[in-house]
Amino acid sequence: MNQSSNVGTRVPSDYVCAGNALAGRTILVTGASDGIGRSAALSYAAHGATVILLGRSVEKLESIYDEIEALGAPQPAAIPFDLEQDTEETYEELARVVGEQFPVLDGLLLNAGLLGERRPLGQLRWNDWQRVMQVNVNSQFLLIRSLLPLLDAAPQASVVFTSSGVGRRGKAYWGAYAVSKFATEGMMQVLASEMENTSAIRVNAINPGATNTAMRRAAYPAESPDNNPGPAEIMPVYLYLMDAASSAVNGCSFDAQ
Ligand code: NAP
């Protein structure tokens, strides 16, 4: 179904992810070292998936790797990779390394994100603008382009982008971050439209909503962290979009909350 205009879609209220729903699937998660991505990687592994963990901090990647092993889940793979790298060749090499071990990719969660400076546009530093755009937009394009052949090799694959409320309605002082999330919504719609009827790849986005992570705490230092749900509480939509239950869903921007 083409739902390119479906913003704010919700997971069906009766959806429950079966214990082994993701068995036999391989899912790459960016920003798997912390926050929402860490929780998503753990949830996918707990439901039987082999997860490829991509993040910047080796120490944090090792910690989640150990936690997944302790679950008795399929053995994950960890790839330290800085998404601020901006050469095409680096991403092609990354895809080659992934493809050597995993010739088929059933899922790609594009979750890593950078908040950047919270100031008026007129005062944003060029370097900060470029860093946010590189991590939140350009790296996603380069990852998709280089990983598409592996996703195409799957009988059914799911690409999930990560959006934000400020990527649907611009807000003062959200700067490059907000603009990058508008671009993310746009990239999702373009790719979903291209995949519709021609491919077994479905493409959607999730707006997590206010979630208690390092990024939220940095954005709202005066807020009590307990005001917001933790990442584990918003996992149903992350599971749904990787589960066969969503195989006909394409071009939607979901709300996790
Ligand atoms: P977080 O706790 O700050 O985690 C961000 C993740 O992105 C970390 O794993 C981090 O890796 C990774 N990352 C950042 N820069 C990177 C780089 N250059 N290369 C590789 N990895 C990099 O953030 P979060 O709250 O979980 O956010 C996850 C996603 O949800 C983001 O796209 C964010 O914009 C979106 N979101 C969050 C909220 C919220 O309230 N939390 C609301 C709306 C949207 P390291 O740990 O290795 O640095």
Is residue 65 part of the annotated active site? The answer reads: no
Give buried/exposed letters for 147-166 (b at 16+ CB in 10 A, else e): bbebbeebebbbbbbbbbbb
Top mutation candidate among 29, 54, 56 for ligand 1, by most atoms within 8 Å of CB: 56
**Any ligand 1 atom below 6 A from CB of 35:** yes
Atom of ligand 1 nearest to the CA of 33: 9
**Any ligand 1 atom below 6 A from CB of 53:** no
pLDDT in tens, 118-169: 999 999 999 999 999 999 999 999 999 999 999 999 999 999 999 999 999 9
Residue nearest to atom 32 of ligand 1 (CA): 113
Helix (H, G, I), strand (E, B) or coil at 50: strand
Helix (H, G, I), strand (E, B) or coil at 75: coil
Taken in order of first residue, the domains within the chain and their CATH numbers are: 7-255 (3.40.50.720)
Q: Are 46 and 72 in contact (CB under 8 A)?
A: no
Q: At what angle do helices 126-133 and 175-195 cross, to 10 degrees?
A: 30
Atom of ligand 1 nearest to the CA of 83: 19
Distance CA 66, CA 245 (A): 29
**Any ligand 1 atom below 6 A from CB of 111:** yes
For ligand 1, the distance from its centroid to the CA atom of residue 176, given in whole angstroms, is 15
**Any ligand 1 atom below 6 A from CB of 55:** yes
Q: What pLDDT, on the 0 to 100 scale, is given for residue 4?
A: 45
Q: What pLDDT, on the 0 to 100 scale, is given for residue 5?
A: 54
**Any ligand 1 atom below 6 A from CB of 214:** yes
- Counting as low any pLDDT under 70, the low residues of the chain are 1-5
**Count of CB atoms situated within 10 Å of the CB of 37:** 26
Residue nearest to atom 31 of ligand 1 (CA): 113
Q: What pLDDT, on the 0 to 100 scale, is given for residue 1?
A: 45
For ligand 1, the distance from its centroid to the CA atom of residue 202, given in whole angstroms, is 23
Distance CA 76, CA 93 (A): 20
**Any ligand 1 atom below 6 A from CB of 210:** yes
pTM, rounded to two decimals:
0.97
Which residue in 44, 65, 91, 177 is the catalytic one? 177
For ligand 1, the distance from its centroid to the CA atom of residue 37, given in whole angstroms, is 7
Unique residue bearing structure tokens 């009988």: 155
Helix (H, G, I), strand (E, B) or coil at 131: helix
**Any ligand 1 atom below 6 A from CB of 212:** no
Q: Are 242 and 28 in contact (CB under 8 A)?
A: no
Q: Are 80 and 56 in contact (CB under 8 A)?
A: yes
